[in-house]
Structure formats: structure tokens, C-alpha cells
Structure 1
Amino acid sequence: MQLLDLIKNKHRTISVVGMAKNSGKTVTLNELIDEAMDNNLRLGITSIGRDGEKQDIVTFTEKPLIYINQGTIIATAEELFKACEANLEILEITDYNTSLGRVVIARGVSPGYVQIAGPCTNKDIKTVTDKMLSHGADIAIVDGALDRLSSASPSITEATILATGAVISRDMNKVIEKTAHQVNLFNIDEVHDEELKTIAREALKDKKIAIIDDEYGVKVINIKTALGCGKEIARELRKNSRYVIISGSLVTKTLKDIVTSNKLFRNVTFIIKDATKIFVDYRDWMYFERIGVKLKVMEKINILAVTINPYSPLGYYFSPQEFLDKMKKILNPLPVLDIMMNEVY
């Protein structure tokens, strides 16, 4: 079984996101490039950060290079376009600016190494991804940036692959725990009530915080963000309150302020756009679940697989087989892949 088996004929846009730097994201991307070549599929590739450089500009550690095949389409910044070793044909110069210049969409005339850095905003990434498809890509891949899972959002890509590894912690069990937590967030239930979805979409579109009662009455709270405003939200909860629509991010402090300020939180379900907006660690999440906090998303993230990297650039590593076996057991039935071992479960 290959990673591409989970994608081809099912999804046209996917993201590869890492739990942290050096978690194996670029190795995963290179595996997809190799598999696409074997299957005569043309990829489009861009990044929400920067990838393909020989040395990480933050940690100064060596990084895997990105080697594309002839016909591969990339979207990258002008300065990195000039640094690409592959011969490239410019298809379009977009109006999207980055710190490295405008984003250029190009096709590989010959195989070679490339560096990629696409637009900085989700909206622009989505547009550039669509452009690569219109220029002939069979599948478009968005390479995620450090600690930014936003490219996994269903509004950007149809599905995602999560890369994780030993770099997260010297304790294998902690790596597995944090990875499983992220997967669980991706799998939070969607809202299915159509009337509620209509109300929630409007609130999210207008970037509002709103409370919905048991008869679908709407009360908009006069605050611009939930950050730092948990107590204000709690003060507006009533016995007939059933849902709290939160635009933007949901963080630990907001939830803690709500649950410690008003016991009526147990009557409501918090609704956010998707799991990329949740910033609550595993321990706090378990606490919130235990006391009865309920959460749903408007759009569930479609996670296809998890790839693992048992080696850390800090010099320590896990037993590859033990790491794979334990991760497989915890995440079952989600496929888990150690690309260097070339095994998938």
C-alpha cells in the first residue's frame, strides 16, 4: 500500500502538515512525488512556509531537498524560483506578494531540485492551489509550515497527511500522546443540524461570537474575539442557551474562564469552524472532557494517514519498529507509515 493509494481518484487537493520542524514532513512530500512519478500523475506543489532549502534557516540543521519530475507544477516566490536547479517554464506570475517576491507558477521542463514558498494567507493558498490544478496538475499538494496546521482546513484542502516524530519529545509515549490528541481534534464531530449550520455560518462569516438558545434565537455578544473574553461569554449564558458560536481561535484560557465562571457551560455545545482553530493541549483537553465541555466543528478535517520519523536532529532516536507498532495500536484504524522503513499499516 502506498500513500498515493489514499489520494488518487479520491482527492485533488491535500496538505502535508507537521507537528513540529524535523517531524518528517519533507520526506513525506518527497515520497508522494516519487509515487506520483510511478503512477504517471502530475503534481502541483506549493508551501504555506518555505521548504526545499539545504539548511534550515532557523535551526541550521540539514534538510531533505525537494526533487521534482519533469511536468511537475510548482508555485514559489520569485527569489526561490531563481534558486531552483530544475529547468522551469513560467506559466503565470501572480499578484500574491511574499517577503521573497511575487508567487510564480511554473512547470518543470526537466527534473531537478526546487525550493518552494507560496502565499502567506489561507485565501491566497487556496487560489494558488486552484490555479495549479487549472494549469494541468492532477493533484495539488500544500506543504504546511512550522506549527501551522491551517493548510489542513477543509476550506483550503480536501484532505491531509500528518507528519510526527521524535523531535517532539525524548519520551516516545509523549510523542504518541500528542499525536493522538491532534488526530482526535481532527476527528471532532461536525454540526449536522441544518438550521444551526445556517446560523453558525453567518456568525463565522461576520466574525462574531454568538449564543443560540433552544428555539434558535440568536444573541450576538459585543466582543471582537473570544481571546481573553471567556468571562464575558460566560456572563451571557442562560438556562435556555444551547450553543456558543466562536469565530477565530479557541484557546485553553478562554474555556477555563468560561467553565469557572458559569456552571451553565454544561448545557451548551461550543462550535468553531474547524479543528485548526483549537489550541488546547492534551492534558487540558482531558480535563475539559471530564467536566462536560462539548465541542463541534462546522467542517471536519479529513485525515488520511500519519507518517512518523523516529529520529531527532538533536541526536536521539526511538526504535523504529517499536515506535511504528505503538503508534499503529493507538491510531488504529488510521494508516501509519514510516517511509524510511517503507511499511504502512
Structure 2
Amino acid sequence: MTAEPYGKKNPFPAPVLGVRPLTAPGSAKETIHAEFSLEGSGLEYVTGDALGVIPCNDPALADALIAALGLNPDAAVPTPEGDSKPLREALISNYDITTVNKGILTKWNTFANCPYLAEIIEDKEKLNNFCWGRDLLDLAGMNHKPNFGSEEAFVGILKKLMPRLYSIASSPTAHPGQVHLCVGAVRYTAFDRQRGGVCSTFMADRMPQGSTARVFIHSNKNFRLPENSALPIIMVGPGTGIAPFRAFWEERIATGATGPNWLFFGNPHQATDGCYTDELDTLVSEGKLKLSVAWSRDQAEKVYVQHLMEREGAELWAWLEKGACFYVCGDASRMAKDVEQALLDIISRYGHKTADEAAAYLAAMKTDKRYQRDVY
């Protein structure tokens, strides 16, 4: 019987080659660089693709939850993958124990019979307010304790621990057999407890060199370098939005691309929040990259990447007229919208176009795959 190839349904246990901080201690934008080996996996990727990572929950959270519910950590329970594991191992590796929503509250309350939860479940506003920042340990600490009766009944209400997708931050040409990520570690306090993003803190805190992480490649065919390597590229990636652009500049250099490269990067403070600073300094000094950086909090007036675009509008327009491909990666809710508006304003101002004509120019860029976004 042929073994199933590695992929989303059969993640590869990738050896961890190393994890290092990119930002300095004290940064409010804590960012790490993680490297994995893909040797022997058969997995291949192209710059612009994403890596799916299936995290492990914090063992301390799993232990506290088991204790709060009075369950046996060694009791065998089924997993979503169809096998059987001790409860503790399953809660760490297989089940979501941090997401609280209407579905989990409804199932939980069939065992808890809590009037307060029953009221919340039926009120959308109260439900949203209640769920924010809470996990299953918070539910286990409420006055109405659920009586699951068995460990198997408890995991029966849980959802599968889902993968997280991260833009790949490496070129397969520059790093054969490896894949790299640039990840922002999410940490916050809610209801007097320190908490964190499941996957980002897994990689930052609980993924030592030599351990493994379950990964697969997620193709992103709508975020690709131009086939003509002589074309200029403009990359806008503040914060961890820089991730795919590290892959882009590595690939362009490794393959001898002749087109110029321009990166717009931004973060709050230059002293603590730089990413790949040494690499960028080297590329700039060698004439391989034009770099525009917005340190948004280092002056009285906040400066973001779109403001730098506007300041460099004449040159940016000249690059576009030479056929430059324009890429954006990062926050979809505000940054990407602001960058698109700045781009339209530049096209209108320096291209001497009406608003409708500028919109048509941008639409043509999209059609020609010269305007691509990887936003989330």
C-alpha cells in the first residue's frame, strides 16, 4: 500500500531548524523568524505560497482545564483524525480548547445547564462580548460546572485544532529543502490571565530546535513574481507583511533577475521594531533594493507606508510606467485600503488622469497581474 503523500490531509512533521527574534526586547510588535526542514517530504513551493502550520496548545492550559473539570488526563479518547490518544495529549495536539463561540457554548451548556449561559447564547451582543478573550478554562471556572460523565463525552463537544496559514518568507532557490516564516507573536491579557495566539506562541515559545511541527504547503497562485524578471517590482509590506517580500527579493537575487526592487516597510519604532534589518542594509548598500521605511511612532505625526508612497509619488509613477508590478501584503481592514487609495491618487496626479481614468488604469494592472494583494 502506497503511503499518502504529505499535504493538508497528511501534514509533514517538519524538523525545526531554529527560531530567532527579529524585533528587539521590549517591542510591542514581537516578531520571530522560524526555519523548518522539508528534506524528504516531497513538498515543494513557489515564492508567494503560504505554509499551513498545525499548532499545539499550551500544555499548561490543557493541564489546568483537565484539573478544573476533574477529568483523567490518561483516559483514552478518540481524536478527529480517527485514532485514540490519552486525553492530555489529545487536548494539546488535536482539539481546539481556546475558541469560545455560540456553537461550543451551546454544547457546553447541555452539560452545565447554566441559566446565565442560556441567556447569553440567545443574545447576539451579549454573546459577542462574552466570547471575546475567553477560552474553555474560563468556562470551567464558572459556578455551574458541567458534568460530562466521561472524557470521551467532553472531547465530543470540541472542534478540531485547525491549521494557521502564514506567508512563506523564503525562496526555495536560495534555501533548498527549507521553508522560513516571519510571524508576529500575539500576546494579551484578558480577565486577569496572560494569553496568546495559539500558533504564534507555539512557534515563539514551544518549538525548540530539533522538535517538529506539522506543516503543509498552501498554493497562492494569485501572488506571484512576474514571469519577465526584467520588470521592476514594488512591494508594500509593513509589519509581518514583509514576509513574502523576503522570499521575493531572495528569489530575484538567486535567479539573477535584472529588474529593480523597491520595498515599503513600516513599524512603530526604529529602535525595537526592525525586521531583517541586516539583510536590508546589505541589499541597499549593494544597490539591489530601494528601501522606504515608515517608523510610525518616532515623530509627533504618525507616518505610514501610504504617506511614503505619496512623498515618492513621482518616482513610483515612473516605475509603474516602466511596467512595474505592485504588491501589497498585510492588514486588509485598513492598511491595504489606504495603500490602494494612495496608489489611485498617485496614478491620478502624476499620470494626469481623472478619478475614473485612474480606476481604469488600476483595473488594467489587476487584469495584467501587475497589482496583487496578499491581505488578511
| TM-score normalised by the chain length of structure 1 | 0.34
Greater share of strand:
1
| TM-score normalised by the chain length of structure 2 | 0.32
